[in-house]
Amino acid sequence: MTSRVLIKDLSALADGPVTVSGWVDTVRDQKKVQFIVLRDESGAAQLVNPALRALPVTDAEAGTVALEGEELAAAEARLATTEAISDLANGSFITVTGQLKQDERVKLGGLEVKIESLTVVTEAIAETPIATDSGLDKRMDWRFLDLRHPKQNLIFKIQTTFLHAMREYWVDNDFIEIQTPKLMASASESRAELFEVEYFEGKAYLAQSPQFYKQMAQSAGFGKIFEVGPAFRADHSFTSRHATEFTSVDTEISWIDSHEDVMNLHEELLVAGFTAVKAKHGDAIKELFDVEITVPSRPFPRIPLAEAKQIVAERGYEIPRADDDMDPEGERQISAYVAEKLGHEFVFITDYASSIRPFYHMRHEGDPSLTNSYDLLFNGTEISTGAQREHRIDVLVAQAEDKGMDPEELGTYLDFFRYGVPPHGGFGMGLARVLMLMLHQASIREVTYLFRGPTRLEP
């Protein structure tokens, strides 16, 4: 392992020898002095080299060098370093050993490293294919270069902190982590958004969600589970919030009374995640994104769908849908209402019509036209769907048939309920959507490590 000091740790060190490694961000090659801004995964620092353009001579015509022995060797090394810096292309990876000097006059971090030796580990092509003003598609083509930018780097530090905070909550509260298969024999959601793949002599489908297997864990007696993993939707959409492959954050719990228990859990997880992000990255987010992270207060507002649609209509917007669902503009309108009237970035829209919900959502007692379900909106966009599940096998079969589904095709799934299962519920949440809205980004492509959409399978 290369012995090096991370740039973020330099400020805590006393003046003296140090070794740093990273990639060249910029080079200022002046006549008498050279400056390198070096970046690594933790930050940036200034390196300085007093330039030596030629060896001193006693006789210019004869080219007689005025130095000898150790002095000559030191001068030759300094000349080689000067020439190497002059030839450096942005993006080259280097290792530098030198003298650290804490100096508050240096704008970049209040320190600099005077170069004693420089090793070019890998050279970069001089002309980079993207610039700061490149369009999003171009940057996606060269994502590995795009991710070197401090702003992009910070996104994935935030993602790590957010997931770690939720994982701590789950583990501290005795949840069991599962990893469900992504190859399935039948659809877990709608066949309209299903990727079909060849599977030896038959066919398989890429999982649209871990829904069936989350519920299996309840029948297995696991009680409380979570999973963070990939999900796939064959959705030919080109919106800022859709992807064909995305990371889904899922959890499911037993022994609930209603979807209210699921919403309470959802709130606790998000508060844990936002609290950790604000504490660790709040200042950096403000500096790079000009966003002030707000930890949401509990309880989050709750508005039944019918009431939400009425509020939206009173604001002058009629939802142009033939079904009972809310459209994206309706979501923005109700979120704006909540922000104006209640000062909250989140809102649960509850009690969705059974006509637009999956067969496994429990329906209201006494009113089967409504379900014990919700969508969670954050800053105007849906980030999650949650519900109490139907655990009674006879009711579940009837609801599947009501949706025009053949119970025979759901045989394995329905078996989970034939041998006893407790009342349960849970949610699935799109990780990229949360990050996009948290950081006020225009597209989930900005916050996805490698985006997949209808026309993008590379890099």
Residue 358, C-beta contacts closer than 8 angstroms, at least 6 positions apart? 189, 211, 403
| Residue with tokens 């490694």, as numbered in its chain | 21
Q: Does the annotation place 189 within a ligand binding site?
A: yes
Please give the Cα distance from 4 to 17 (Å, whole number).
11
Q: Does the annotation place 382 within a ligand binding site?
A: yes
Question: In this structure, how many other beta carbons lie within 10 angstroms of the beta carbon of residue 179?
Answer: 10
Q: What is the 3-state secondary structure (H, E, C) of 423-457?
A: CEEEEEEEHHHHHHHHCCCCCHHHHCCCCCECCEC
Structure letter (DSSP) for residue 251? E
Q: Does the annotation place 389 within a ligand binding site?
A: yes
Please give the Cα distance from 403 to 298 (Å, whole number).
36
DSSP string of 115-173, one letter each residue: EEEEEEEEPPPSS-S--TT--HHHHHHTHHHHTTSHHHHHHHHHHHHHHHHHHHHHHHT
Strands 381-388 vs 363-364: parallel, antiparallel or unpaired: unpaired
Q: Does the annotation place 446 within a ligand binding site?
A: no
Q: Does the annotation place 432 within a ligand binding site?
A: yes
Which is nearest to 195 in space by CA: 236, 140, 241, 240? Answer: 236
- Angle between the N-to-C axes of helices 431-438 and 150-172, in degrees from 0 to 180, rounded to the nearest 10: 120
Q: Does the annotation place 47 within a ligand binding site?
A: no
Q: 239: exposed, middle or buried (C-beta count within 10 Å: 0-12, 13-18, 19+)? A: exposed
Question: In this structure, how many other beta carbons lie within 10 angstroms of the beta carbon of residue 308?
Answer: 26
Q: Does the annotation place 75 within a ligand binding site?
A: no
- Residues 111, 113, 119, 121: what is their CA dihedral angle, to the nearest 10 degrees? 0
Please give the Cα distance from 48 to 40 (Å, whole number).
17
Q: Does the annotation place 148 within a ligand binding site?
A: no
**Do 36 and 47 meet the contact criterion of CB atoms below 8 Å apart?**
yes
Please give the Cα distance from 51 to 326 (Å, whole number).
65
Which residues are documented as binding site? 189, 233, 382, 385, 389, 430-433
Which residues are documented as binding site for ATP? 382, 430-433
Which residues are documented as binding site for L-aspartate? 189, 233, 385, 389
